[in-house]
Structure 1
């Protein structure tokens, strides 16, 4: 049986308190291809370790 394609999700502000926890929960499901759009500040909480290596990230401002 062929593997199912991952569902793509775009999240704005996915490295802060609420968005970051949302991304962590989605990553745990291992069924989503996640892209995060933010202002490039990965110093919030531990998002640079828990989120950034596992998502596509775009910095905008």
Structure 2
């Protein structure tokens, strides 16, 4: 899972909140390797391990 960055604002001229998923790009260089490693160790691996223990499929759909 490469990190993605949302960069598009709702209004012209860079105004308003980010659009949320619309207008994002990946991979981004904003996340350092240390941040990516922390996300993998504290969020992704525990989530997938919990899903396996509960018999939940994790096929990415």
TM beyond 0.5 = no
Greater radius of gyration (CA): 2
Q: Which structure shows the bigger proportion of residues in strand conformation? A: 1
Structure number with higher relative contact order (C-alpha < 8 Å, ≥ 6 residues apart): 1
TM, length-normalised to structure 2: 0.27
TM, length-normalised to structure 1: 0.27
Q: Which structure shows the bigger proportion of residues in helix conformation? A: 2
